[in-house]
Amino acid sequence: MKKVVALDSLEEEVCAALEAGRAEDLSALLAQHHAADIADVIDRLDDDEQARVFALLSPAQAADVLSETDLEATRALVGRLSPEAAAALFRRMSIDDVVEILGEDVPEARQELLEAMPSAEARDVARHLAYPPRTAGRLMTESFVRATAEMTEAEAMALLRAAAPAVEALSELYVLDAEGRLSGVVTFRALIQAPPGRRLGALAVAPAAQVTPETDQEEVARLVSQYDLLSIPVVAAGGRMLGVVTVDDVVDVLVQEGSEDVLRLGAVQEGATDESYFTTSIWRTIRRRVGWLLILFLTGTLTVNVLGWFEEALANVVALSFFIPLLIGTGGNTGAQTVSTMVRGLALGEIRPRDVWAVVARELISGLLLGLLLGVAGFGLAALIGNGWDLALVVGLAVVVICTWANTIGALVPLVAHRLRLDPALVSAPLITTLVDATGLAIYLLIARLILGL
Amino acid sequence: MKKVVALDSLEEEVCAALEAGRAEDLSALLAQHHAADIADVIDRLDDDEQARVFALLSPAQAADVLSETDLEATRALVGRLSPEAAAALFRRMSIDDVVEILGEDVPEARQELLEAMPSAEARDVARHLAYPPRTAGRLMTESFVRATAEMTEAEAMALLRAAAPAVEALSELYVLDAEGRLSGVVTFRALIQAPPGRRLGALAVAPAAQVTPETDQEEVARLVSQYDLLSIPVVAAGGRMLGVVTVDDVVDVLVQEGSEDVLRLGAVQEGATDESYFTTSIWRTIRRRVGWLLILFLTGTLTVNVLGWFEEALANVVALSFFIPLLIGTGGNTGAQTVSTMVRGLALGEIRPRDVWAVVARELISGLLLGLLLGVAGFGLAALIGNGWDLALVVGLAVVVICTWANTIGALVPLVAHRLRLDPALVSAPLITTLVDATGLAIYLLIARLILGL
Q: Please report the pLDDT score of residue A3 as a whole number.
A: 42
Helix, coil or strand: residue A296: helix
Q: Please report the pLDDT score of residue B8 as a whole number.
A: 66
Q: Which residue has the higher pLDDT, B140 or A348?
A: B140
Alpha helices in B103-246 (DSSP H): 107-116, 119-129, 136-139, 153-163, 188-193, 200-203, 217-227
Test A300 with B365 for CB contact under 8 angstroms. Answer: no
Q: Which residues contact A133 (CB under 8 A, 6 or more apart)?
A: A103
Burial-class residue B178 by CB neighbours within 10 Å (0-12, 13-18, 19+). Answer: exposed
Q: Does B167 have pLDDT greater than 50?
A: yes
Rg (C-alpha) for chain A, rounded Å, is 29
- The 8-class DSSP code of residue B238 comes to T
Q: Which of B2, B254, B438 sits opposite A208 (nearest CB)?
A: B2
Test A258 with B263 for CB contact under 8 angstroms. Answer: no
Test B381 with A259 for CB contact under 8 angstroms. Answer: no
Test B350 with A157 for CB contact under 8 angstroms. Answer: no
Backbone angles phi, psi at B232, to 5 degrees: -125, 130
Backbone angles phi, psi at B386, to 5 degrees: 80, 40
At residue A445 the predicted structure's pLDDT band, cuts being 50, 70 and 90, is very high
Q: Please report the pLDDT score of residue B86 as a whole number.
A: 87
Distance from CA of A151 to the nearest CA of B (A): 18
Q: Please report the pLDDT score of residue B101 as a whole number.
A: 82
Q: Please report the pLDDT score of residue A272 as a whole number.
A: 43
Q: Please report the pLDDT score of residue B5 as a whole number.
A: 46
SS3 content of chain A, % helix, strand, coil (to 5): 65, 10, 25
Q: Please report the pLDDT score of residue B200 as a whole number.
A: 95
Name the β-bridge partners of A234: A211, A243
Q: Which residue has the higher pLDDT, A21 or B271?
A: A21
> Picking from A53-62, A172-181, A254-263, A375-384, which range would have the lowest pLDDT averaged per residue?
A254-263
State the Cα–Cα distance between residues A417 and A433, nearest whole angstrom.
16
Burial-class residue A193 by CB neighbours within 10 Å (0-12, 13-18, 19+). Answer: middle
Question: Cα dist. A63→A74, A118, A312, B207 in Å?
Answer: 11, 17, 71, 21
**CB-based contact, B256 to chain A, within 8 Å:** no
Report the phi/psi class of residue A113: left, alpha or beta, with left for phi > 0 and alpha for psi in -120 to 50.
Answer: alpha
Nearest to B266 by CA among A356, A342, A378, A403: A342
Query: What is the average pLDDT across A273-297?
Result: 76
At residue B272 the predicted structure's pLDDT band, cuts being 50, 70 and 90, is very low
Backbone angles phi, psi at A147, to 5 degrees: -125, 170
Q: Please report the pLDDT score of residue A262 as a whole number.
A: 67
Test A430 with B318 for CB contact under 8 angstroms. Answer: no
> Picking from A214-218, A337-341, B201-205, which range would have the lowest pLDDT averaged per residue?
A337-341
Name the β-bridge partners of A146: A174
Distance from CA of A261 to the nearest CA of B (A): 7
**CB-based contact, A83 to chain B, within 8 Å:** no
Q: Read off the amino acid at residue A8.
A: D
CB A128 within 8 A of CB A96: yes
May I ask the CATH architecture of the domain A7-132?
A: Alpha Horseshoe (1.25)
CB B96 within 8 A of CB B125: no
Q: Chain B residue closest to A288 (CA)?
A: B337
Q: Chain A residue closest to B162 (CA)?
A: A193
Report the phi/psi class of residue A239: left, alpha or beta, with left for phi > 0 and alpha for psi in -120 to 50.
Answer: left
**CB-based contact, B154 to chain A, within 8 Å:** no
Question: B285, B295, B298: best mutation site toward chain A, by most A Cβ within 10 Å?
Answer: B285
Q: Does B3 have pLDDT greater than 50?
A: no
The mean predicted confidence, pLDDT, of chain A is 85
At residue A265 the predicted structure's pLDDT band, cuts being 50, 70 and 90, is low
Distance from CA of B98 to the nearest CA of A (A): 17
Other Cβ atoms within 10 Å of A175 Cβ, number: 26
At residue A40 the predicted structure's pLDDT band, cuts being 50, 70 and 90, is confident
State the Cα–Cα distance between residues B254 and B248, nearest whole angstrom.
10
**CB-based contact, B202 to chain A, within 8 Å:** no
Nearest to B250 by CA among B347, B137, B139: B139
Q: Collect all residues of chain B within an 8 Å Cβ-Cβ radius of residue A207.
A: 4
CATH code, residues B7-133: 1.25.60.10
Q: Does B274 have pLDDT greater than 70?
A: no
Q: Does A268 have pLDDT greater than 70?
A: no
Q: Which residues contact A230 (CB under 8 A, 6 or more apart)?
A: A169, A171, A172, A246, A247, B171, B230, B247
CB B139 within 8 A of CB B96: yes
Q: Please report the pLDDT score of residue B377 as a whole number.
A: 92
Q: Please report the pLDDT score of residue A429 as a whole number.
A: 62
Q: Please report the pLDDT score of residue B374 as a whole number.
A: 93
Distance from CA of B111 to the nearest CA of A (A): 30
Test A369 with B286 for CB contact under 8 angstroms. Answer: yes
Nearest to B128 by CA among B108, B163, B148, B102: B102
pLDDT tens-digit readout, B400-415:
999 999 999 999 988 8
At residue A273 the predicted structure's pLDDT band, cuts being 50, 70 and 90, is very low
Test B192 with A165 for CB contact under 8 angstroms. Answer: no
Q: Which residue has the higher pLDDT, B215 or A273?
A: B215
Query: What is the average pLDDT across B237-245?
Result: 92
ipTM of the complex: 0.73
- In chain B, domain spans: 7-133, 144-253, 282-452
Q: Which of A161, A251, A324 sits opposite B325 (nearest CB)?
A: A324
Backbone angles phi, psi at B55, to 5 degrees: -65, -20
Q: Please report the pLDDT score of residue B255 as a whole number.
A: 80
Q: Please report the pLDDT score of residue A304 as a whole number.
A: 87
**CB-based contact, A251 to chain B, within 8 Å:** yes
Q: Please report the pLDDT score of residue A13 as a whole number.
A: 85
Q: Which residue has the higher pLDDT, A104 or A377?
A: A377
pLDDT tens-digit readout, A124-152:
888 888 898 889 999 999 889 999 999 99
Q: Please report the pLDDT score of residue A246 as a whole number.
A: 94
Burial-class residue B1 by CB neighbours within 10 Å (0-12, 13-18, 19+). Answer: exposed
Q: Does B299 have pLDDT greater than 70?
A: yes
At residue A2 the predicted structure's pLDDT band, cuts being 50, 70 and 90, is very low
Q: Does A4 have pLDDT greater than 50?
A: no
Question: A296, A309, A351, A365: best mutation site toward chain B, by most B Cβ within 10 Å?
Answer: A296
pLDDT tens-digit readout, A102-122:
876 556 677 788 888 888 888
- The 8-class DSSP code of residue B439 comes to H
Q: Please report the pLDDT score of residue B269 as a whole number.
A: 61
CB A321 within 8 A of CB B314: yes
The mean predicted confidence, pLDDT, of chain B is 85
Highest mean pLDDT among A126-130, A288-292, A321-325, B418-422: A321-325
Q: Chain A residue closest to B276 (CA)?
A: A350
Q: Which residues contact B400 (CB under 8 A, 6 or more apart)?
A: B368, B371, B372, B374, B375
Q: Does B125 have pLDDT greater than 90?
A: no
May I ask the CATH architecture of the domain A282-452?
A: Orthogonal Bundle (1.10)
Alpha helices in B234-355 (DSSP H): 247-265, 282-309, 311-316, 319-322, 324-347
CB B280 within 8 A of CB B415: no
Query: What is the average pLDDT across B79-104?
Result: 84
Q: β-strand B231-235 against B241-246: which pairing, if any?
A: antiparallel
Q: Please report the pLDDT score of residue B178 as a whole number.
A: 93
Q: Read off the amino acid at residue B192.
A: I
> Picking from A69-78, A393-402, B142-151, B219-228, which range would have the lowest pLDDT averaged per residue?
A69-78
Q: Please report the pLDDT score of residue B346 as a whole number.
A: 82
Q: Does B102 have pLDDT greater than 90?
A: no
Nearest to B249 by CA among B150, B337, B168, B352: B168
Q: Please report the pLDDT score of residue B4 as a whole number.
A: 44
Q: Please report the pLDDT score of residue A163 as a whole number.
A: 92
pLDDT tens-digit readout, B429-451:
667 777 888 899 999 999 999 99
Q: Which of A192, A319, A374 sits opposite B297 (nearest CB)?
A: A374
Q: Collect all residues of chain B within an 8 Å Cβ-Cβ radius of residue A311.
A: 318-319, 322
The distance from CA B413 to its chain's CA centroid, rounded to whole angstroms, is: 21
> Picking from A61-70, A444-453, B280-289, B327-336, which range would have the lowest pLDDT averaged per residue?
B280-289
Other Cβ atoms within 10 Å of B25 Cβ, number: 13
Q: Read off the amino acid at residue B368.
A: L
pLDDT over 70 percentage in chain B: 92
Q: Chain A residue closest to B172 (CA)?
A: A171
pLDDT tens-digit readout, A352-363:
777 888 899 999
Q: Which residue has the higher pLDDT, A289 or B215?
A: B215
Q: Please report the pLDDT score of residue A93 as a whole number.
A: 87
Question: Cα dist. B313→A391, B382, B438, B443 in Å?
Answer: 21, 18, 17, 14
Q: Chain B residue closest to A167 (CA)?
A: B189
Q: How far apart are the first and last CA of chain A?
A: 81
CATH code, residues B144-253: 3.10.580.10
pTM above 0.80, yes or no: no
> Picking from A76-85, A88-97, A251-260, B437-446, which range would have the lowest pLDDT averaged per residue?
A251-260
pLDDT tens-digit readout, A198-213:
999 999 999 999 999 9
Helix, coil or strand: residue B207: coil
